[in-house]
Amino acid sequence: MFVNTIIFNYCCSVQPLLETIYMKSGPHSHMRLTKNLPKPTYYAAALNGEFAQHAYNEERAIEFCGKWRSLAFSSPLDQPLDLEIGTGNGFYFTHHASTHKDRLLLGIELKYKPLIQTIRRALRAGCENARIARYNANFIWELFEDEELNNVYIHFPDPWIKKSKKKNRLINTKFLNQLFTKQKEGMFVEFKTDSLDYFEWAMEFFEASSYRVEHVTRDLHNSEFAESNFETHFEKIFLKQNIKINYTKVFKS
């Protein structure tokens, strides 16, 4: 009787709560929705408030699928749209947007603080061609129509070093197949990581995918690609520790 009461109480109170916090199925079912945060931090509130014109929560982001250029950027359909996945505090994001004023740049970031830091940095630098969305990059295909994207930048994604956690790595067969279909012909993916283990893992997936692997180095800063490279925030941290940076650029063509 006592156990039945506990189960009944759980079903009536906790279960519906969990279902509203994480949507049960469909798009962004894998994410906690910003609107359901019990106590939004300054950063979570800023996403829907101060920065709402340039930063989108997960529910708004999905509405732009297939219409990023026209709806989010009010730009012509033929303007290139690049994507940075996991922007961190936005140094590369701002560099890219400010040095490619003729292109649009969308960032995808899961955590509120780096997301706001990123868009704030870009706006302070006058980058009107930049937008950011809160989304889980593992489900990136929910955000784009086929061939909607130009170039994609993935710099220092979480390496998930422990054997039991490697399944969380962003680079895998499904992710690359999906990303490939979302990019236009002739475009590339740039991938950098400090983790040699992750790099070797990623290279196996890149080589088995439909991408054409063109540039590969396990020591970026002593390679022919060093001159055109921009050091990201995490890259600087690893370089100070004398860790070599692994780099590849793969093409859809």
Enumerate the active-site residues.
158
Report the 10 Å Cβ neighbour count for 20: 11
Pick the binder of ligand SAM from 75, 79, 138, 223 (CB under 6 A): 138
- How many angstroms separate the CA atoms of 241 and 230, rounded? 18
Candidates 16-24, 107-115, 174-182, 209-217: pick the segment binding ligand SAM (CB under 6 A).
107-115
Per the CB < 8 A criterion, the answer to whether 134 and 109 are in contact is yes
Binds ligand SAM by CB under 6 A, chosen from 28, 97, 107, 109 = 109
Nearer to ligand SAM, 73 or 234 (CB): 234
Position 232 contacts ligand SAM (CB under 6 A): yes
229: contact with ligand SAM by CB under 6 A: no
| Crossing angle (nearest 10°) for helices 91-99 and 112-124 | 30
Query: Nearest distance from residue 91's CB to ligand SAM, in Å?
Result: 7
Q: If we measure between CA atoms, which residue out of 249, 246, 248 comes closest to residue 194?
A: 246
Which of 136, 172, 181, 223 forms a contact with ligand SAM (CB under 6 A)?
Answer: 136
User: Smallest gap, in angstroms, from Cβ of residue 146 to ligand SAM?
Assistant: 21
Instruction: Report the interhelical angle of 196-208 vs 173-182 (nearest 10°).
Output: 60
- Determine if 234 is a binding residue for ligand SAM (CB under 6 A): yes
Q: How far is the CB of 234 from ligand SAM (least distance, A)?
A: 4
Contact 191, 248 (CB under 8 A): yes
Write down the least CB distance from residue 11 to ligand SAM, Å. Answer: 31
Residue from 252, 83, 94, 235 nearest 180 by CA? 252
Q: How many helices (H) and strands (E) does the chain have?
A: 9, 8
Q: Residue 114, interface with ligand SAM (CB under 6 A)?
A: yes
Tell me if 137 contacts ligand SAM by CB under 6 A. yes
Count of residues near ligand SAM by CB under 6 A: 19
Binding of residue 155 to ligand SAM (CB under 6 A):
yes
Q: Which is nearer to ligand SAM, 75 or 138 (CB)?
A: 138
Q: Tell me which of 64, 73, 144, 156 binds ligand SAM, using CB under 6 A.
A: 156
Tokens of 15: 């279960």
Q: CB–CB of 169/201 below 8 Å?
A: yes
Non-local CB neighbours of 38 within 8 Å, separated by 6+ positions: none
Task: Tell whether the torsion through CA atoms of 218, 182, 165 and 85 is positive or negative.
Answer: positive
Which of 114, 246 has the CB closer to ligand SAM? 114
Shortest Cβ 106–ligand SAM spacing (Å): 12
Residues that bind ligand SAM (CB under 6 A): 86-88, 108-111, 114, 136-138, 155-158, 232-235
